[in-house]
Structure 1
Amino acid sequence: MTVESEKRTRFFRLWTVITDAQGVFRAMRSVQYVAFYLTFSYLLQTILLLLQGETQYTSPPANSEQLYFELGLYSGISVLSLWLGVRIRNGKYGAVPYVAGWMLVEIVFSIVTAPWYGGVGAVIFGVIAVSGLRGWFSRKKYGVASLARKRSWLLIGCGTVFGSALLALCAFGLLIEVGVFPDLKVVSGENLSSYHIQTLLDRGILDESDSIEYFYSYGLFSVADGGQFLTPTKLVIYEEIEGVLSVYELPYSKIDSVELVTQGGFLEDSLYLIYGNSRSEWEYVAMFLGVENGGDQTFIDRLNKHIADYKAI
């Protein structure tokens, strides 16, 4: 490494020193490597999805529709990031803040969902992304006015829409992972977040003496919106409509059978009907379950086992 290059970069050439307009351009141009890293990363996820049926960060698709959707999403992002990297390499820097910001969101998401994957790569390209953002926000300071003529308003508009959507999606995923928003699949009681358990207790849906075996909520922002869970003695189904909460406690001793009405898919829950026996006060009650990872079948298998055990008494 020459003395001149040492002045221009630090931390093994990952961090660009900005002292003039040329430093601004070097910092922004380095973001091309972030874009190419994202291209490789999403291409790898596409290959893993094809060969193994799952990626490093997500659960296996519930069905073929979700598989094709994820394949299209990952391959599309690979092509997009490659295109943005080529644009930056050719001196078109309008996508710099979007690519760099995208990389930082990716790092946070991977730390929460799968911290054991891509640690070194995430740190390296995270440093480059921050360096590129410094260059972007230093344009005015060093009089880089020529960049305005290189702007593509179409790219800026598309980048803003895509970046906002990606950021919102990642934020929503993070809130699910940390247990703020309901999970999109059936979860076991031991994996149910304490935040959700406390919400159920506060709303009077769950009794202090209850032990949840399996749980599913179709609520988007709160588990109190609707769902069901199994305890050792009963099935509990609840829903909130126009601010009115209804809770149905169905002891296994009063359930006759379970019928699958509609098999769910990628964007649809499975619909089941719970029929009461001669000792019940209801004819049937409807129940919705998510299909991801076969969670609906796991839930129903445990429910049928409880029903069979009580019938055998």
Structure 2
Amino acid sequence: MNDQYNLDDAVRDANQASIAAFIAAAVSGLLIVAAMASSADGPLGQFADPVNLIDVALVVACGVGLRFYSRTAAITLVIYYILAKIIMMLEEGRPSGLLFTFIWLYFYWKGIRGSFAYHRLRKEADSNYRSTPVWFYYFVIPVGGIILSLVVLGLSLFGLGLIAESGALVNSAVITGDQLSESDLQLLLDEGIIRPDETVLYFYSAGITSISDDGNLLTDKRVVSYERIEGVLEVYAAKYEDVAEVIIVEEGNFIDDTIVEINTTDDDVFLLLLSPLEEGDQTFINELRSRVPSKPDQVEQQKIRENEA
């Protein structure tokens, strides 16, 4: 910083960074509201989540902080902006909007320069100057901490979602067969869990980094469950025409999976574990039941239940 940089310059830089933050928040807010109102898909679809409003709140809070020459707000704004841009580029698979990114970073960086210089120059002019008012400790820091924690949590979950989509993590919901990666599909074939002439319709595994230890699936011919016990793979399966009854033993929740019991005409029993996320368990069960042929005795029992009702 050169000797000509004075208090007016510091004020100007901090104010410009604040205005840039407010403009960014306004544009983002308008995009989010427009996307939510129109249920937009495609490029605008990523803005349709109301959780994005937390990001807007953080940027606004930083903009307000810069009006008071807050160094914490200035640093937070730069770090958040860089992280958000990195995640966005990872999602798109390529760099985009680099010109605007550097323009906004330029103004946000001026906020850091201006806020630090402001307090230094005030302290040099007045040794009794207090850079941070008491109310800042009791209000701005706690509120800012809460907002920042929510944003970091959101970015972390979003990052995990990107990792899951890349195949590094197993999807935590029931997925369709065409969402299985080629490597996972090959693993199912190599382990003999599915046959070469079968097509996977739905799949779910409780694994974290691999589906090799357990899984539940529907193919166009069978319902299958498998698990690895002490290193030995156990596969349980039944053709749809051999399924006697499908029983929901326990409904799942945000912690536990739904447990489904499969009874066969040969008096065999095995269990399926299905994630209730996005009602994937119900989709799986409905598809399974639609493929199980109705047995005459089951039809008769159903008529009896209807008459009793």
TM-score of the aligned structures, taking structure 1 as reference length: 0.64
Classify 1:52/1:277 alpha carbon distance in 2 versus 1 (closer, same or farther; 3 Å).
same
Q: How does 1:1-313 map to 2 (within 5 A)?
A: 22=9, 26=13, 29-30=16-17, 33-34=20-21, 36-38=23-25, 40-41=27-28, 44-45=31-32, 48-49=35-36, 52=39, 56-57=45-46, 71=50, 73-111=51-89, 113=91, 123=98, 125-131=100-106, 149=131, 154=141, 161=149, 164-198=152-186, 200=188, 204=191, 206-207=193-194, 209=196, 210-239=198-227, 244=231, 246-252=233-239, 253-265=241-253, 267-268=254-255, 271-282=258-269, 284-292=270-278, 294-308=279-293
* Compared CA separation, residues 147 and 212, structure 1 to 2 (3 A): farther
User: Residues 147-166 of structure 1, C-alpha deviation per residue, up to 9 Å, x if partnerless?
Assistant: 99569784786687556534
Q: What is the CA-CA distance between 1:189 and the residue it aligns to?
A: 1.4
Specify whether residues 278 and 48 from structure 1 end up closer, same or farther in structure 2 by C-alpha distance, changes over 3 A only. same
Structure 2 distance, partners of 1:273, 1:94, is: 52
C-alpha RMSD of the superposition: 4.7
Per-residue deviation at 1:126?
2.2
The secondary structure found in structure 1 opposite 2:287 is: helix
| 1:52-104, Cα deviation, whole Å (9 max, x unpaired) | 49982289xxxxxxxxxx75x44444333322222124422323343333334
Q: Provide the C-alpha distance between the structure 2 equivalents of 1:221 and 1:28, rounded to a whole number of angstroms.
A: 47
**Counterpart contact for 1:182–1:223, Cα < 8 Å:** yes
SS of match in other structure, 1:30: helix
The letter for the 2-side match of 1:290 is P
**What SS does the aligned partner of 1:223 have?**
coil
Greater Cα shift, 170-179 or 40-49: 40-49
Q: What residue identity is the alignment partner of 1:94?
A: T
Aligned-partner residue type, residue 308 of structure 1: P
Distance 1:224 1:36 in 2: 49
Q: Which residue of 1 aligns with 2:128?
A: none
- Percent identical across equivalent pairs? 19
**Counterpart of 1:57 in 2: which secondary structure?**
helix
Count of residues in correspondence between the two structures:
275
Provide structure 2 residue ranges, at least 5 long, that are not aligned to the other structure: 124-130, 297-309
Q: Is the 1:57–1:110 Cα contact (8 Å) retained in structure 2?
A: no
Q: For structure 1, which segment, 170-179 or 94-103, has the greater mean C-alpha deviation from structure 2 after superposition?
A: 94-103
Higher relative contact order by CA 8 Å / sep ≥ 6: 1 or 2?
Answer: 1
Contact 1:42–1:78 (8 Å) recurs in 2: yes
Residue aligned with 2:168, SS: coil
Contact 1:186 1:295 in 2 (8 A): yes
**For the residues of structure 2 that align with 1:146 and 1:194, how far apart are their CA atoms?**
61
**Which has the greater radius of gyration?**
2
Within 1, Cα distance between the matches of 2:33 and 2:172?
Answer: 22
8 Å contact kept, 1:180–1:196: no
8 A Cα contact 1:258 1:304, kept in partner = yes
Please tell me whether the aligned partners of residues 200 and 217 of structure 2 are also in contact (alpha carbons under 8 angstroms): yes
Cα distance, 1:172 vs structure 2: 0.8
Structure 1, unmatched stretches of 5+, are 1-17, 60-69
The separation in 1 between residues aligned to 2:170 and 2:211, in whole angstroms, is 6
Contact kept, 8 Å, 1:255 with 1:274, in 2: the verdict is no
CA distance in 1, matches of 2:11, 2:295: 73
Cα deviation 1:153-183 (Å, max 9, x = unaligned): 8478668755653442232121122222122
